[in-house]
Chain A
Amino acid sequence: MTTQISAPRYTGTSVKRSEDPRILTGAGRYVDDIKLPGMLHAAFVRSPLAHGRLLTVDTAAARELPGVVAVFTGAELDAMTVPGPDPLMAFVGLGAMMPSYGLLAVDKVRFVGDPVALVIATSRARAEDGCELVEVDYEDLPPVASAAVALDPGSTPVFDDLGGNVIVPPRRSELGDVAGAFAAADLVLDCHLDVHRHQNVPMEGRAIVVSPDQETGILTVYAATQSVQITRGGIAQRLALDPAKVRVLAGDIGGSFGLKSGATREEQAVAAAAYSLGRPVKWTEDRGEHLTASGQAREESFDVRAAASKDGDLLGLDVSMVIDTGAYQVAGLIVPPTIQMMLPGPYKLPALGFESTAVTTNKASYISYRGPWASETFVRERVLDLLAKDLGLDPLEFRLRNVAPRTSPPYTMLTGRPLIGVTTTESLERLAALVDLPAFRARQAAERARGRYLGVGVATFIEAAPGPRMPGGGMPGPLATETMRLRLAEDGTLTLFTGQMPHGQRHQTTLAQIAADEFGVPFEQVRVVVGDSDVVPAALTGGSRAATMAGGVTLHGARQLKVKVLDFAARLMEASASDLEIIDGSVMVRGDPDSAISVASVASQADADADLEVTATFDGGDSGWSGGSHCAVVEVDVETGLVKVERYVAVEDCGELINPAIVEGQIRGGVAQGIGAVLLERSAYDQDGNYQSATFMDYLLPTACEIPRIEIEHLQTVPLDADVNFRGVGEGGLIVSPPTVVNAIEDALAPFGVRIYEQHLPPARILELIAAGGAAPA
């Protein structure tokens, strides 16, 4: 153990999740389970057009329908609310870079699914009946259904006030001697890579219940959110309310993966409607709405030049990217700078040219999806395989040759951060041993001779979770630190108030493990309070922050509270605090179990002066990188184009593990999403901007038959902080699995001369690639 926990018992073990009994018995409380007296239900009228003028919205017939209580148009909602940016962007101080917009379409519709009117009725079914009666007249406008169209200066502006569809014009920067690197190169690779649009798809979609209290003026919001405070801020801003008048409560949440980061337009519209009607309103989106309108991610394309020496040294990268951010801005604009920052990865990269352009199109908003910047890993790890092939080198050996060594002082990425404590070399070497590449190559050759096409692919990543301190200062803004309130309750329960909002991560277990160990009480004596904006500090569950930031503040806070409790106990016990310890829920004089009195007994005697509560803050300490290397073995059926992932091995370093079963669940879940992204999932639009993936028959998720057993090994981490060496593990699986799988597929198809420059490889595309490869199998 590198973390200085006083008596480790729970931390590092797969303690069973305390949340599980309610989840497993149907006793969980998700937003749609809430029923309030007099509650109304919301449904949205949505645009069938990608791009059009909104001529008239006639709500008269809908308002006449029995059971319909109100119908709101965009203009009516505009009058009830104020414009604003996405709540998460506002929270992190980036609101000003985002064009603001209203909650419903007013004079134009900008994507298929754009909400046009909001119907409130006595039941969801009746609200949907009301939607059918809303008559909307549209006038078609030419759709901007791709980045290529958006880049055409003649394209019809999606937002008239932005003047064009390029919302962030090309910005180029160079780090290192880019021209020199390419002039000195023996090999220059020039290619175009596409990453396709796909999306989060939590099993629970968006949902909200908003309940105004006429007496107190308090708006109570039951939300599915990754941060009750960001949701509160977003709703208060739109409704122009004092945030103190908005209380956001969150219970169980059915997944999110970045989607539920605050409050979306529909959720804010429901809040406005409830506030204006003075009655509780519920909205639960259906799967069609979710797939069409909740947001999508990852649509980026890259022109890449890569320079290498004939010996296999990576000399430089020059990358020009275009991101399709969709219509209403949510998170798209923060992606290119992060891609640039992370592009060097764990490698020695002496020169990097980078240019990015952001366009707006008639598609759903670009939102955060688990590892929002992941395309940098896809681009880099795909290019490394292509280079290795051109150089005649083994891809894994080529990587090992170029990984930055762990030196003191550390190698610094061109983009600024030190590569401190990174174990890429070890993970690649361990992967090679686990997979036994020579044996695989022999088997591959034998199978090819029998007409079976196996391939192996490797990729590696690092993730700033939260990453080392930046030279000259840490992360700015409210996410620079994590705050927690800890209290020893009168009955001896150690109570943690955290702004983390678990939605599958099980912080109520992991944080309790750390607190129990550090404070000295049984795990069952710790209560982790989440999901009430009136009592928890501001925080976000996202960016793989919780392990380091919340884990760290739990450790430090429990230690601070323990000092306070021991000081008070010393008075009760007429002993010196320095002679006391807490073991298994009892305070005792060190080495004298007979002196023990229970923590509960101490707490029950606390007077106002004792104040057995602390508020702790943690800045991440000397944190480092998470990272790892993954390997996939695939078989491609060249007759059908079907790809089977036969074996998947992950060697990971996320620092010290708090709960191995929970860590491995995060890794496997991310890998499964990555396998899905490559083989199945696509948020497809046709050339007119019609959405093609609005059901689970069209947007295919991986099932138990597509996802293999995922073998995981954890490396001994390099401790960096005196106390806290837990690092985040939420996103890496999805960051690194797409290039891992694509690299394996290309390897399998090598006999056909196939080179792959894209991320989405469903069977039909595999067959096209084989046909276009131009090589008959050997």
Chain B
Amino acid sequence: MADITVTVNGATRTASAEVRKTLADFLRDDLDLTGTHVGCEHGVCGACTVILDGRPVRSCLMLAVQAAGHQVTTVEGLAPEGTLGPLQQALQDSHGFQCGFCTPGFLMQATALLDAHPEAGEQEVREALSGNLCRCSGYQSIIDGVLLAAERAKG
């Protein structure tokens, strides 16, 4: 077991966990942040994506001990409790998702994309999100929501 301290959504959190535990399981089991979902545990589906030091990472492919001392943002950190951030609002407005299981990963990946490329067009958005799997939507409503958020950000 190891004591692991991570800054999550701006707050310093410490918990004791086995060194073999993934960051995804650590967030869910030890920090009770169950918004991060585990979809494949081999880095393909993207459901577990979180932002680590400003970059999107697969939290199922990273050990919790590797995240010690780093800054992690999860879906719970995208907006103050009880509110929707601009990307979340745009995805509600576009009826982006259906079952919601892949949603946190798409939100984190798209957040990282729009932070880096606020002018992203449809093809860029599609390519940036092509490492996230959704089985319900056929993707169009998600792409439209991300583009809507980008459009609104331009004001």
B11 within 8 A of A: no
Within 8 A of A (CB), among B74-112: 74-76, 78-79, 81, 84, 88, 91-93, 95, 97-104, 107
A21-B92, A287-B40, A704-B126 given as contacts; is B100 within 8 A of A28 (CB)?
yes
A255 within 8 A of B: yes
Q: Check A710–B41 contact: CB distance below 8 A.
A: no
- What residue in chain B is nearest A291 (Cβ atoms)? B40
- What residue in chain B is nearest A34 (Cβ atoms)? B34
Within 8 A of B (CB), among A117-155: 125
- What residue in chain A is nearest B134 (Cβ atoms)? A203
A240 within 8 A of B: no
Residues of A within 8 A of B29 (CB): 35
Q: Check B99–A707 contact: CB distance below 8 A.
A: no
B137 within 8 A of A: yes
Residues of A within 8 A of B71 (CB): none
CA distance in complex: A23, B100 (Å): 5
Task: Quote the shortest CB–CB distance from A215 to chain B (angstroms).
Answer: 27
Q: Check B126–A705 contact: CB distance below 8 A.
A: yes
Within 8 A of B (CB), among A653-693: 661-662, 665, 668-669, 671-673
A452 within 8 A of B: no
Select the residue from A25, A661, A665, A710 with max chain B CB neighbours within 10 A: A25
Residues of A within 8 A of B36 (CB): 26
Q: Check A701–B137 contact: CB distance below 8 A.
A: no
Q: Check A203–B135 contact: CB distance below 8 A.
A: yes
Task: Quote the shortest CB–CB distance from A257 to chain B (angstroms).
Answer: 7
Select the residue from A14, A29, A669, A695 with max chain B CB neighbours within 10 A: A669
Task: Quote the shortest CB–CB distance from B76 to chain A (angstroms).
Answer: 5
Residues of A within 8 A of B130 (CB): 703-705
Query: Which of A203, A252, A668, A673 is in CB contact (< 8 Å) with B45?
Result: A203
Residues of A within 8 A of B20 (CB): 125
Residues of A within 8 A of B98 (CB): 255, 504-506, 665, 669
Residues of B within 8 A of A701 (CB): 133, 135
Task: Quote the shortest CB–CB distance from A712 to chain B (angstroms).
Answer: 10
Q: Check B138–A707 contact: CB distance below 8 A.
A: yes
Q: Check B104–A255 contact: CB distance below 8 A.
A: no
Q: Check B75–A503 contact: CB distance below 8 A.
A: no
Q: Check A254–B35 contact: CB distance below 8 A.
A: no
Task: Quote the shortest CB–CB distance from A223 to chain B (angstroms).
Answer: 15
Q: Check A287–B42 contact: CB distance below 8 A.
A: yes
B118 within 8 A of A: no
Query: Which of B38, B88, B141 is in CB contact (< 8 Å) with A32?
Result: B38
- What residue in chain A is nearest B78 (Cβ atoms)? A25
CA distance in complex: A661, B95 (Å): 7
A19 within 8 A of B: yes
Residues of B within 8 A of A705 (CB): 126-127, 130
CA distance in complex: A254, B39 (Å): 10
Query: Which of B37, B41, B76, B93 is in CB contact (< 8 Å) with A30?
Result: B37
Q: Check B129–A704 contact: CB distance below 8 A.
A: yes
Q: Check B41–A254 contact: CB distance below 8 A.
A: no
B150 within 8 A of A: no
CA distance in complex: A254, B95 (Å): 16
A20-B92, A23-B100, A505-B98 given as contacts; is B138 within 8 A of A203 (CB)?
no
- What residue in chain A is nearest B47 (Cβ atoms)? A203
CA distance in complex: A703, B97 (Å): 15
Residues of B within 8 A of A504 (CB): 98-100, 136
Q: Check B76–A26 contact: CB distance below 8 A.
A: yes
Residues of B within 8 A of A665 (CB): 95, 98, 136-138, 141
- What residue in chain A is nearest B87 (Cβ atoms)? A24
CA distance in complex: A695, B41 (Å): 10
Specify the main secondary structure of chain B where it touches its partner. Answer: loop
Chain B window 115-146, contacts with chain A (Cβ cutoff 8 Å), 1 for yes, 0 for no: 00000000001110111111111111111000
Q: Check B44–A255 contact: CB distance below 8 A.
A: no
B33 within 8 A of A: yes
Q: Check B44–A203 contact: CB distance below 8 A.
A: no
CA distance in complex: A23, B35 (Å): 9
B53 within 8 A of A: no
A24-B84, A28-B100, A504-B136 given as contacts; is B45 within 8 A of A17 (CB)?
no
Q: Check A203–B75 contact: CB distance below 8 A.
A: no
Residues of A within 8 A of B21 (CB): 125
Select the residue from A20, A23, A254, A669 with max chain B CB neighbours within 10 A: A23
B3 within 8 A of A: no
Select the residue from A505, A661, A704, A710 with max chain B CB neighbours within 10 A: A704
Task: Quote the shortest CB–CB distance from B50 to chain A (angstroms).
Answer: 11
- What residue in chain A is nearest B144 (Cβ atoms)? A709
Residues of A within 8 A of B134 (CB): 203
Residues of B within 8 A of A704 (CB): 125-127, 129-130, 132, 139, 142-143
Task: Quote the shortest CB–CB distance from A391 to chain B (angstroms).
Answer: 34
Within 8 A of B (CB), among A485-505: 503-505
A440 within 8 A of B: no
A697 within 8 A of B: yes
Q: Check B40–A255 contact: CB distance below 8 A.
A: no
Residues of B within 8 A of A32 (CB): 28, 34, 38
B18 within 8 A of A: yes
Q: Check A203–B39 contact: CB distance below 8 A.
A: yes
A26-B76, A33-B34 given as contacts; is B103 within 8 A of A696 (CB)?
no
Task: Quote the shortest CB–CB distance from B22 to chain A (angstroms).
Answer: 10
CA distance in complex: A661, B144 (Å): 12
- What residue in chain B is nearest A253 (Cβ atoms)? B99
Residues of A within 8 A of B33 (CB): 26
Residues of B within 8 A of A35 (CB): 29, 32
Give the 8 A-B residue pairs with the shortest CB-CB distance, closest first.
A26-B35, A254-B101, A668-B138, A23-B100, A504-B99, A504-B98, A696-B44, A672-B138
Sample of 12 more A-B contacts, CB < 8 Å, known A26-B35, A203-B102: A25-B76, A25-B78, A33-B28, A125-B20, A202-B135, A203-B135, A253-B99, A255-B98, A506-B98, A661-B141, A709-B140, A710-B138
15 contacts between A and B (CB under 8 A): A14-B95, A16-B92, A16-B93, A16-B95, A21-B92, A26-B76, A203-B99, A253-B99, A254-B102, A287-B39, A287-B42, A661-B141, A695-B44, A701-B133, A704-B142
